[in-house]
Amino acid sequence: MTYQKTSLERLLDKTIFAFANTWLISWKSISIALLSLLIGFYIGGNVTSFYLYKIGQRSTVVLIMIIFNEVIVNLVRRVNVKRIKLFMLALDNIRIGAIYAVILEAFKLGS
């Protein structure tokens, strides 16, 4: 009699495989990803606060941040070279950190 995997077993295998691959990634990649995420959060928080103080219009600052993020998304999507994969990971995490800082700033301002 042949053994047949159920849907639950296939789902568990995929989940275990995904978590196992997470720990097999080099420490260099993990540390660069985490540092770039934190740097993006720091830059995003400071840029929004600075330009909000300088310009005074919240919508202009948010528009600038959205344009910046869209440029990065298009850059990451178009360039798919394995040699600069780590740089693209860092650039994408900086973008995610900046977006998180903008969202957190919006919650702090109450809008």
Residue 22 pLDDT = 64
Mean pLDDT of the chain: 80
Q: Which of 16-20, 92-96, 102-106 has the highest mean pLDDT?
A: 92-96
Within 10 angstroms of residue 28's Cβ, the number of other Cβ atoms is: 9
The pTM score is: 0.68
pLDDT in tens, 52-96: 777 777 777 778 888 888 887 887 777 766 667 788 888 888 888
The CA distances from residue 83 to 37, 72, 77, 88, in Å, are 21, 18, 15, 10
Whether residue 106 is predicted with pLDDT greater than 90 in this model: the reply is no
**pLDDT value at residue 73:** 82
Domain ranges of the chain: 26-109
- Contact partners, residue 73, CB within 8 Å, separation at least 6: 95
> Helices 85-109 and 27-55 meet at what angle, rounded to 10?
40
Range from 29-33, 37-41, 61-65, 99-103 carrying the lowest mean pLDDT: 61-65
Q: What is the pLDDT of residue 41?
A: 92
d(CA 101, CA 90): 16
Query: Which residues neighbour 28 within 8 Å (Cβ) at sequence distance 6 or greater?
Result: 86
